[in-house]
Structure 1
């Protein structure tokens, strides 16, 4: 249960922060955000904001989206002859069009819609009491869709295509940007939680509780000077010396190491423990605890994490393999493991996942933010937008590719986890 809760919290925060980036800069660019959704599938909660955005929570905690006016598949279709209930203001303009049997207004005017234009002329036509009538629709009117979601209509002046090219560019980049910022902030929290940042340039060590060297009386901040025949000046030397000294090590065999403690220098015999195919002696790098060290260290952790992800992506491109990818099932498994190990591993996982999501979304594939940014750059060079139909087809192709990839990755995760 703790793993499931950790998964929902981590994934929810990462998605919320990502989508908020799109939401904030869309509004700053004059684009109407019709819906801000956390989760996918049927909605379980909705709040109609004064800013014209419907804030919804949907039942599947597997993502989220910002529904911008005029972007992608954003469309509200009213079938010819469909029943609707119109709410009018004092001037006789339509301020609400209800296409569902939910959120009924007793004072609403029933109509069977025969024609409508909610983008340019802002009018709706239909049969009312056996008479055809046309009503003007208010610019800020809402429409209740068949599933009961109430959103603003999308006149042309507040649509995505009407924003400046730079407004669209920053709107698309803002999601990944927020993920990078979140990753850095979580790494900062992490180094303060663990009391500092690892110092890999020193041979001072932290001792793992109940580890092999802890049983010999070695304490935090002692210095390991030598392991076997190898001298140790830093963490890289230490890990290399352990690997060399344990090559061909027999069961219950010990290796010598020289350590400097508060009481002096001595040589001890340690019995390494085998974990996941490698030997460990139960030590970690010492910590730098200064305020500046923590901040700089958090940025360095973010930088190193980003490059590790980029290297993994490069290897995936050069040698494609589904086993190198992980979907929601894999993320749940990692969350479950991290939840058992404590707060620090959970924070580390959240930071890395956030940076990972930011980088992944910048891949120039249609339907991802990177694909949208590429289209924005092409438009900037052409000095005119692509045809909306062309952009829609490109995006649809990207969506199909991503859906197919997600199904394949999720199925592979399930097979690895349970079979």
Structure 2
């Protein structure tokens, strides 16, 4: 249960922060945000505010999404002959259209639809109360709502509030805002970790900080404050050098020269084999010593840690290009597994994991792949260079291809994760 809660909180917060970036800048740009959903799947609860945004809580407590008018979202399918009902205001303008069988309008007028235009002309026509002798046409209010088949009430989307009607720079910023929020979240979380630890790790030395209980290091007699001078006779002066040498020897005995209270000791130990992706590393269960730092240094560490994690992800992407393997990728199953490990290691580890995952999501979403934010940004830049946007048909085809490829990759990755972690 602790793992499940950790997974929901970590994954949910990261995705919601990402979507809030799109939501905030879309609102600022005059784009109608029709729905801001928390979770996925069937609706549990919904509320529509005065600006026309419907906030919904959905059954599966994982992530969320933002529906922006005209941004490739699926419109309610309304076809000739479809039975609907409409509600009028005192000026006989339609203020509500009901396409759902789950909802009944108290003052609704039954209408057999013949045609409609809810984008430009803002009209809807049909036979009233089954009278097919006359087609009645109503004007539709600019801020009218439509009740979808699942019972969710959202605003209609006239052209002036659609995504494509916003200025180019506003659309570009709206697309970039999601990943940007992930980077901001990562910086904040890394700062929180620095304050919780009381400082930042000293990566420029090999002095040991915390020794994990029941670890290889603890069993071998290593102590907090020990300084590692060499690994198997090879001198080390930074944490990364020592880490690299130890990780290169999983399940192989190595010798450490250690300085303790002015004396030099030789400690032999065998790093435990730890599998990450398709690679196996040696781990002994130690962390660097903390540097007593000022408030400014702790805040600065949030930025430096975010940059360092970003560089690590770019290096991983480079390895993925030169030597592709599904084991180098991870989906929801892998995230759940890592959430379990983080939950068992304490709150600081959970927050650090959330920060690293937030950086990962930000960078992955910026990849120039259709259907991702990065692909949309590329289209924005092409529009800026050409002076006109790519046709909606071509953009739709590109997005569909990109989405299909991503879904196919996700299926393969998820199945591979299930085989790796569950069998």
TM-score, normalisation: structure 1 = 0.90
Match of 1:44 in 2: 44
Deviations 1:133-187 (A, max 9, x none): 1111110010001111110000010011111111111111111111111111111
Deviates more, 1:66-75 or 1:225-234: 225-234
> CA contact under 8 A between 1:34 and 1:152: conserved in structure 2?
yes
1:274 aligns with 2:271: yes
CA drift of 1:283 comes to: 3.8
**How does 1:255-334 map onto structure 2 within 5 Å?**
255=255, 257-261=257-261, 265-276=262-273, 283-290=286-293, 291-334=295-338
Match of 1:154 in 2: 157
Match of 1:187 in 2: 190
How far apart in 2 are the matches of 1:376 and 1:201?
Answer: 43
How far apart in 1 are the matches of 2:250 and 2:410?
Answer: 42
Q: 1:234 to 1:309 in 2, by over 3 A?
A: closer
> CA contact under 8 A between 1:327 and 1:409: conserved in structure 2?
yes
Q: 1:294 to 1:103 in 2, by over 3 A?
A: same
Deviations 1:192-234 (A, max 9, x none): 2222211021243214154566679875445445667555544
Match of 1:117 in 2: 117
> CA contact under 8 A between 1:7 and 1:335: conserved in structure 2?
yes
How far apart in 2 are the matches of 1:213 and 1:418?
Answer: 29
How far apart in 2 are the matches of 1:207 and 1:102?
Answer: 59
**How does 1:83-122 map onto structure 2 within 5 Å?**
83-122=83-122
> CA contact under 8 A between 1:226 and 1:259: conserved in structure 2?
no
CA drift of 1:295 comes to: 2.0
**How does 1:9-408 map onto structure 2 within 5 Å?**
9-129=9-129, 130=131, 131-210=134-213, 220-225=224-229, 229=233, 231=235, 233-236=237-240, 238-239=242-243, 249=253, 255=255, 257-261=257-261, 265-276=262-273, 283-290=286-293, 291-408=295-412
How far apart in 2 are the matches of 1:35 and 1:154?
Answer: 12
CA drift of 1:91 comes to: 1.4
CA drift of 1:417 comes to: 2.1
> CA contact under 8 A between 1:69 and 1:154: conserved in structure 2?
yes
Q: 1:151 to 1:326 in 2, by over 3 A?
A: same
> CA contact under 8 A between 2:190 and 2:305: conserved in structure 1?
yes
How far apart in 1 are the matches of 2:148 and 2:242?
Answer: 64
> CA contact under 8 A between 1:224 and 1:260: conserved in structure 2?
no
CA drift of 1:13 comes to: 0.5
Pick aligned residue for 2:413 from 367, 390, 409: 409
CA drift of 1:123 comes to: 1.1
CA drift of 1:246 comes to: 10
Deviates more, 1:50-59 or 1:207-216: 207-216
How far apart in 1 are the matches of 2:348 and 2:387?
Answer: 49
How far apart in 1 are the matches of 2:252 and 2:420?
Answer: 31
Q: 1:115 to 1:242 in 2, by over 3 A?
A: closer
> CA contact under 8 A between 1:207 and 1:213: conserved in structure 2?
no
Q: 1:111 to 1:297 in 2, by over 3 A?
A: same
CA drift of 1:244 comes to: 9.7
> CA contact under 8 A between 1:67 and 1:74: conserved in structure 2?
no
Q: Secondary structure at the match of 1:276?
A: strand
How far apart in 1 are the matches of 2:298 and 2:325?
Answer: 37
Q: 1:283 to 1:336 in 2, by over 3 A?
A: closer
**Gap runs ≥5 in structure 1:** none
Deviations 1:83-131 (A, max 9, x none): 2121111211111111112332212111111111101111111111314
How far apart in 2 are the matches of 1:151 and 1:398?
Answer: 28
Q: Secondary structure at the match of 2:344?
A: helix
> CA contact under 8 A between 1:197 and 1:298: conserved in structure 2?
no
